[in-house]
Amino acid sequence: MAERVSDPRAVARVLASGGLAVIPTDTVYGLAASLRAGPVQRVFELKGRSRDKALPVLAAARADLEAVAHLDSRAQRLAEAFWPGSLTIVCRRATGFEVDLGGGEKGTVAVRVPDSDSLLKLLRLTGPLAVTSANASGAAPATTAARARAVFGEAVDAYLDGGVCDGIPSTVISVVDDPLVLREGALGAEDLLQMLAE
């Protein structure tokens, strides 16, 4: 039976054993998995998500992403200004990071440090996780644990209830080539691009 837990250590144990967990973030509820092939594949299957859409990686600190992503000078400027926060940065993968997160471009990865005390506490226990919105693909993201549970039920191994999330998704910017805002969310595209142009 899927657990409803309040202790990040219990969720960390579920994730370490290859399970999936629904967790609150600073934007919406997320479906989280360890960076291993089996759990990541389960996320795609559970959401009905196309493997053409890569899963992002969340971490507790920029230093924790060094083994995952190559944060060039532009990515570092953005990170310093907006992390922890609702900005996802797409950059080139770090050498040696070969986890299949889906997506057509295998040399890139989307990364973020969220602004959520409860999630940062969990990420300090687990290290970086693959986290995507907790909803069936194409449906509205869940803003409560109960809504996520109504979708996934017993297929998810643990639910961490953190109250109501604000529901505004992160802004996504790519710095793989010229800076390009792929999705506008909590942060405005013009502000980001202007900062990088200065």
Q: How far apart are CA 59 and CA 63, in angstroms?
A: 9
pLDDT digits (tens, 9 = 90+) for 169-179: 899 999 999 99
Mean pLDDT of 87-105: 93
Alpha helix locations (H) across 83-139? 117-126
Q: Is 46 left (phi over 0), alpha (psi -120 to 50) or beta?
A: alpha
Nearest to 61 by CA among 120, 8, 132: 120
pLDDT digits (tens, 9 = 90+) for 24-63: 999 999 999 999 989 999 999 999 988 898 999 999 999 9
Taken in order of first residue, the domains within the chain and their CATH numbers are 3-197 (3.90.870.10)
Tokens of 77: 């400027």
Tokens of 111: 């990364």
Lowest-pLDDT range of 1-5, 92-96, 150-154: 1-5
Whether the per-residue pLDDT at 2 is higher than 80: the answer is no
Single-letter amino acid, residue 155: A
* 186 CB burial (10 A radius; 0-12, 13-18, 19+): middle
- Helix, strand or coil, per DSSP, at residue 9: helix
pLDDT digits (tens, 9 = 90+) for 121-152: 999 999 999 999 999 988 988 999 999 999 99
Between β-strands 69-70 and 129-133, what pairing exists: parallel, antiparallel or unpaired?
Answer: unpaired
